[in-house]
Chains A and B, each alone.
Chain A
Amino acid sequence: MSSKTHETLPAAEAKTLLNKISDDLLRPIQNHKGFTMWALFLGLALALVLWAYVIQLRDGLGVTAMRDYSAWGSYIANFVFFVAVSLVGMLISAIMGLIGVEWAKPISRIAEIVAFSAVAVAGLVIVFDMGRPDRLLNVFIHGRFQSPILWDVTVVTTYTAISLVLLILPLIPDIAIMRRRMTNLPKWQKMLYDMASFGWVGNDAQYHALHRMLKVLMILVIPVALAIHTVTSWLMASTLRPGWNSTIFGPYFVTGAFVAGTAAVIILMFFYRNNFKLKEYLTDYHFEMVSRLLVLTSLVYLYFNVNEYLVPGYKMPLHEGQHLTELFTGHWAPLFWATQIFGLILPIILLLFKPMRKPLPVTIIAVFVLVGAWFKRFIIVVPTQFHPFLPIQNVPENFTTYSPTLIEIAVLIMPFILALIIGTIVSKLIPVVSIWEVAEQKGISREVLNQE
């Protein structure tokens, strides 16, 4: 919340403008064109992957391609990916909100939706990876605080809670508007909005309290967000394994997370802009600015990549050297170079040119960045395990390679479907761009905004 004052419009003009803004932003909630098909698709997809998970529950993790020398596979890569994506909420709505970056305001709710859906499923991803999910409660009954897993459980749940509050609090003025303007709602939805508007009338005391609470939360969420991804990186960095035994894993993961999250926000912005017809709110200017943000975060991440790979690559100690050789020129080289070039280097170069920062080109680039981000996590998690200190011998052939099975791929798609379901529900319940903040930016006074 910046304290910048905007030029106030005359009351009559402001009223017309507010009508238009709220009509535009609330229309998608009641417009169900294509929604049934989408919901059906999500439901079917969920049923399919749930069936795969049931098979895994019945037969054990042996249905995956994981074995003793790839004990952590694509599920852990998936977990790191979702935690990474969720970090963008902290970057765009908290850091940029505190600094008072005006262009970030209309997209901060989108960032919060991405953050909440991603972190809410991240905890679940870990359960899919457990050999004995039936003993999940042991983590709370016998939990030991020496284990980084306990730290992760603590910070992920905290971040989920704060993200949810950070999504709900700035909604209150909008929900008050929705209560007044959306009259033909089903009863349950009406009741929901009645409750969630928390008696908002828009007086000075309420604005003051709201801004204060938001400010405290935005400050609080920064260390918590840093902690979730730093601790997640420590799941690997706290071991002695060559390739994981690195001191820069914390910042390396956090900067990578900003890249992945920004890409996810761009893709979602593009979807809302076209399907929700929000071209006037998510403008070329917003895409221009968020493209620059993607270049900036990618450059920082590239810097950490140079450090993470080239410094040991210069020294080439025995075991880490074998691991790096496999990445640079060996078995994993195609995947490694594809993620680095298509997911990081090319996007940076392309986005230096202005035409590439238009909505469609940057969205296509963002898809590459996001897919690259997933495979980058895979590259960090899996190959290292094939280069332990002592040789892998006297085990079957399938212990020495790893490529996910069909059931495994289905199970790792499940969190994507769940995140999409959460995102869909949220965007059918609330305006994805903040009405009151856009109104404020356009000079509509609080009196006009909250009257009626």
Chain B
Amino acid sequence: MAEELNKSAHSENDGSDNSRRDFLKIGLALGAGVVVGGGAIYEGYKGETKKIRVLTTDGHTLEINKPVVMEDYELKDSSELPLSDLQKRGRKGIPGKKWVMVIDLSKCRNARKCMDSCQAAHQLKPEQHHINVLRMQDDANTEPYFMPKPCYHCDNPPCTKVCPVDATFKREDGIVLIDNERCIGCRFCVAACPYSARVFHWSDPKFVEANALKEYDIELNVPQKKGTITKCLFSADRLRKGQQPYCVEACPNGVYWFGDLNEDVVTNGTSKDTVRFSDLIRENAGYTMMPELGTKPRVYYLPAKNRLFPFEYNGSKELSQEDQHWF
């Protein structure tokens, strides 16, 4: 039936408004086909229709019009696509998702596998951190702890607000991304980010010659470019392929949970356990970094209670004088 409706939608496509109205009447009469028919009209407008197979609840397969949100360029591997399509999908995000990260501070023992894996993937120099494990202490009488700090992908991002050219932007799926083909290098976003999440290429990045002919992948921010910004991207390229971010996957200690807020599930990068995000946050008193700034971060922390191992850095169980200066 859907096929028939679709055919008629096609034949009506170049007809007048009247004939389309007639068609709608038929569609209404058919009752069950209304929704599909509407979709068909919309597809008819666009001039082409693609079919995909889906499984119904009672176990039959059914061929329906492909939903408009999924385009070819959104599914392919980045190496198969021209720059224009990469930029287009990179700006739009992954449909239907709201990415969220949970960092369990009670598990972090400064293994820094996250930092290594991230720097390798994004071709960063040792001093350039998309994710940085900080040594923190809330008060002189409280225990120090390690705190991995990625970009918080704020829902009210101060950085994208100040960008004069829309080179950094917030996507539908919650990720704050960078277009280093457009960035003018004014560093206003560096000044505006209260969490120091942004990194600038003060001189040539790594692998300039090897990357000379490589297409720019906006979701990986590689090749990196001199005079532009880089920062944590929530590994948008990995998410596109249905994989977890580099840091999450690399952690040996189960610090990271990553998932989709729409589905309310997060998966642990180490144990691969999948739990409800809301349960995890509620049961462990999850919080966000400096919510008083109004930035609405998408990264949550679980407090460093019931730790499996004590704080230890450079052989000391206390923060160095220099580190204490910050608190």
A: residues with CB less than 8 A from B are 59-64, 66-69, 71-72, 126, 129-133, 135-136, 138-139, 141-144, 146-150, 153, 235-236, 238-241, 322, 385, 388-396, 399
Contact = CB atoms under 8 A, between A and B. Distances in A.
A139 B185 CA distance: 11
A136 B323 CA distance: 40
Which secondary structure characterizes the binding site on chain B?
loop
B188 A235 contact: yes
Contacts of B289: 390
A146 B161 contact: yes
B129 to A, nearest CB: 6
Given A60-B203, A71-B187, A235-B188, 15 more contacts: A59-B204, A60-B202, A68-B190, A68-B200, A131-B184, A132-B184, A138-B184, A142-B167, A144-B163, A241-B191, A391-B327, A392-B326, A394-B129, A395-B127, A395-B129
B107 interface: no
A130 B184 contact: yes
B243 interface: no
Given A61-B227, A236-B191, A393 B132 contact: yes
Given A68-B196, A238-B162, A390-B195, A149 B136 contact: no
Given A131-B228, A136-B184, A149 B196 contact: no
Interface in B275-293: 289-290, 293
Return the 4 tightest CB-CB contacts between A and B, nearest first: A131-B185, A131-B227, A62-B203, A62-B202
A71 B200 contact: yes
Contact of B198 (A60, A68, A129, A393): A68
B196 A142 contact: no
Contacts of A240: 158, 192, 194, 293, 295
A179 B186 CA distance: 47
10 contacts: A61-B185, A68-B190, A68-B198, A129-B186, A131-B186, A142-B167, A239-B192, A390-B289, A393-B134, A394-B127
A266 to B, nearest CB: 34
B82 interface: no
For this complex, into which size category does the number of interface residues on chain B fall?
35 or more
Contact of A139 (B184, B226, B293): B184
A62 B226 CA distance: 9
Q: Name which of A67, A126, A144 has the most chain B CB atoms within 10 A of its CB.
A: A144
Q: Name which of B182, B192, B195 has the most chain A CB atoms within 10 A of its CB.
A: B192
Contacts of B201: 60, 131
Contacts of A131: 183-187, 200-201, 226-228
A393 B135 contact: yes
Contacts of B134: 390-391, 393-394
A62 B199 CA distance: 13
Contacts of B184: 130-133, 135-136, 138-139
B22 interface: no
B2 to A, nearest CB: 42
A126 B325 CA distance: 34
